[in-house]
Structure 1
Amino acid sequence: MSKSYILASGSPRRKELLELLHIDFKIITSDIEEIINPDLSHEDVVMDLAKQKATDIASSNKGSIVLGFDTLVIYKNSPLGKPKDNNDAFSMLRQLSGNTHQVLTGCCIIEGDKVETFYDQALVTFSTMTDQEILDYIDTNEPMDKAGAYGIQGYGAKFIENVNGDFYSVMGLPINKLYKYLNNIK
């Protein structure tokens, strides 16, 4: 009997990436209010948030393997979440312009009573952007639902100078690490 997988995320990027692993899964979006423990490191925060989402869905889906994720963009040791509005997106992109930042993606896999959490990280370097380039990018609306206000796989790609680490982790799902974990529980 094949395993039943649930992606606890409404992210179209995570859905697209999970499909690359050729596993059957359904999507059930967790709508919990994310609670960030200020005493945790950034790495522990992304794992904890991923666990909160996965636990929320796993509680009513016994017998399934639930996958939860969370991504944070960190610049100068400060997290940059999803922008609240265009001004917030502009501010974030202005900070990232010409600089290197860290992207952390946490993952939680729940199967019955077994809970595995891990994270992956990448360093992303942006080229220098003019204010007009930032405004034009914001006009695409792409930045509005993404941590750090950019999509590495979309229009934002033209501003990426370098990625040190897993490109897919920057998109929100560390494919290689997840594949290895899932192979250990099959």
Structure 2
Amino acid sequence: MKLVLASASPRRRELMALAAPAYEVCVSDVDESALTAPDPAALAQVLADAKCAAAAALRPGDVVVGCDTVVDVDGQVLGKPRDREDARRMLDSLSGRTHRVHTGVCIQAPGEQRRFCVTTEVEFWPLDAAERDAYLDSGEPYDKAGGYGIQGGAAKFVRGIRGCYFNVVGLPVSQVHRALRSMACWQALGFDESD
């Protein structure tokens, strides 16, 4: 039995190493555009469930962690920007405001499952056009939900957060760790109480 992360995100892979001492990666194809939910937090959970189920089908008998992060401003989901104009629109909508970052998590093991969504509130300072455009020029916004990476150049935009910082990066480390430790599979994976 192996622990498997169902994600291609390099940031999520780094964070998973903080949550568990050893894991492998299995990325599966999920058509995210076909999935819907009544609100952004529920959408994050639906996406996480789908990614977990798809990877679990490829890795039966293993413990699979699937997750997805959604940025929410006033109930509107901000995904990864399509282009520069889309990224500009997203940053402008976040400027001087508080938004929410939801990460849905689904952990599937033989005979047990844990599902949960973690929400963090992030407040941005008002952004002027020069700093916004410099960030757009950096190339950083284009592969990130909401068009920004709190762990990178957008750190200077953040006035404050309420909740888990790592959740905003892409994986709520402590919550995932505690969920895994609460499952019967933890010891079957070869981990102990000190891990």
Coarse TM-score class (shorter-chain normalised) = over 0.9
> TM-score, normalization: structure 1?
0.94
1:110 aligns with 2:108: yes
Cα distance in 1 for partners of 2:27, 2:151 equals 22
Give the corresponding residue for 1:139: 137
Q: Determine the structure 2 residue equivalent to 1:156.
A: 154
Equivalent residues of 2:20, 2:177 under 8 A apart? no
C-alpha distance after superposition, 1:68-113 (max 9, x if no partner): 0111111011111110001000000011011110110000001124
Q: What's the counterpart of residue 54 of structure 1?
A: 52
Provide the rounded CA distance (Å) in 2 between the counterparts of 1:41 and 1:50. 14
Question: Contact 2:19 / 2:174 at 8 angstroms: preserved in 1?
Answer: no
> What are the within-5 Å matches in structure 2 for residues 1-186 of structure 1?
3-34=1-32, 35-38=34-37, 40-185=38-183, 186=186
Q: Distance in 2 between matches of 1:115 and 1:44?
A: 17
Q: Conserved in 1, the CA contact under 8 Å of 2:7 and 2:27? A: yes
Per the TM alignment, residue 135 of structure 1 is displaced from its structure 2 partner at its CA by 1.0
CA RMSD of aligned residues (A): 1.1
Q: Determine if contact 2:4/2:25 at 8 Å carries over to the other structure.
A: yes
Go from structure 1 to structure 2 and tell me whether the alpha carbon gap of 1:108 and 1:22 turns closer, same or farther (over 3 Å shift).
closer
Distance in 1, matches of 2:87 and 2:159, equals 20
- Give the AA of the match of 2:36: N
CA positional deviation for 1:151:
0.2
Are the equivalent residues in 1 in contact too, given 2:6–2:66 (CA < 8 A)? yes
Helix, strand or coil at the partner of 1:157: helix
The 3-state SS of whatever aligns with 2:36 is: coil
Distance 1:22 1:177 in 2: 11
Report the AA paired with residue 178 of structure 1.
V
TM-score normalised by structure 2 residue count: 0.90
2: CA distance between counterparts of 1:41 and 1:117?
Answer: 17
Query: Counterpart amino acid of 1:36?
Result: L
Gaps of 5+ in 1: none
User: Percent identity, aligned pairs only?
Assistant: 37
- State the AA in 2 paired with 1:37: T
C-alpha distance in structure 1 between counterparts of 2:126 and 2:45, whole Å: 31
SS of residue paired to 1:59: helix
What corresponds to 2:189 in structure 1? none
